[in-house]
Amino acid sequence: MLNIALPKGRLGEKVYAMFARAGFECPALMENSRKLIFDNEAAGVRYFWVKPSDVAIYVERGAADIGVAGKDILLEYQPDVYELLDMNVGKCRMAVAAPAGFRDDMNRTLRVATKFSRIARDYYTSVGRDIDIIHLNGSIEIAPILGLSDVIVDIVETGTTLRENNLSVIEEIVPISARLIANKSGFKFRTEQIERLTEGLRKEVQEA
């Protein structure tokens, strides 16, 4: 049985549809229930819904053989897993955003509010800028408005939230999308099934 961790929410449902079309369906999954684990013995799969940021943990720790996680989570937590496929869905970008008229004063340490401390630190290290990281867990956009930070590093999808808070993207760090990941040990023992699934999904991605 192949254990698959999917991210709860709209992205997870979209991704499951790709798994189903690739021949790994489990109809019970889309039924309206509070269940979190679903088996389809005939297809040899067990799906479970988990919080999107936890998918990589389930896979790294071997509770799931494979899963789908955002590249943002993989870059931030750097789990020791295989990254088998760019699923080309859930596309957005990790970016630096600042209030209108912002000008970086190089005489000061730049204050950066973010949920993604590692990504922000790595990016500013790569450009040689000294920063002060303010780690927040949500509502990052209000940090510059309240004077808590100079800029933010966050995921930008359409840019609507930024615009509504008088912020705009000043630098793109990295494109983000959902990735198929696999546990390194699980991959060795369920290779044939994982490779078949990966190939099926690859076709789905190419045809989309």
Partner 1 sequence: MLIDDRVMNWQEKISFRLRTLYSEYGYERYRMSKFEEYDLYSRNKDFLFSEGVITFTDTTGRLMALKPDVTLSIVKNRKDTPGALQKLYYHENVYRVSVAADGFREQTQVGLECMGEVDGACIAEVLKLAAESLKLCSSRFVLEISHLGILNVFVDAIAPDESVKHEILQCAGQKNLHGISRVCRDHGLAEGAENALKELLSLYGTPRTVMPKIRALAAEYGAEKMAACLGQSVAVFTGTELENRILIDFSATGDLQYYNGIAFKGFIDGIPGSVLSGGQYDALMKKMGRKDRAIGFAVFLDMLERLTEEEGSRA
The only residue of 30, 83, 118, 132 in contact with partner 1, by rule CB under 8 A = 83
Nearest approach, Cβ of residue 59 and partner 1 (Å): 9
* Residue 52 makes contact with partner 1 by CB under 8 A: no
Q: Are 60 and 81 in contact (CB under 8 A)?
A: yes
Pick the closer one to partner 1 by CB: 108 or 188. Answer: 188
Pick the closer one to partner 1 by CB: 106 or 208. Answer: 208
The only residue of 5, 56, 85, 133 in contact with partner 1, by rule CB under 8 A = 85
The only residue of 13, 86, 104, 122 in contact with partner 1, by rule CB under 8 A = 86
The only residue of 80, 105, 164, 207 in contact with partner 1, by rule CB under 8 A = 80
Q: What angle do CA 51, 69, 94 make, to 5 degrees?
A: 105
* Residue 166 makes contact with partner 1 by CB under 8 A: no
* Residue 82 makes contact with partner 1 by CB under 8 A: yes
Q: Are 40 and 164 in contact (CB under 8 A)?
A: no
Rounded to whole angstroms, how far apart are CA atoms 81 and 179?
11
Residue type, 96: V
Q: Are 91 and 177 in contact (CB under 8 A)?
A: yes
Cα 44 to Cα 2, 3, 74: the distances in Å are 6, 9, 27
Nearest approach, Cβ of residue 86 and partner 1 (Å): 4
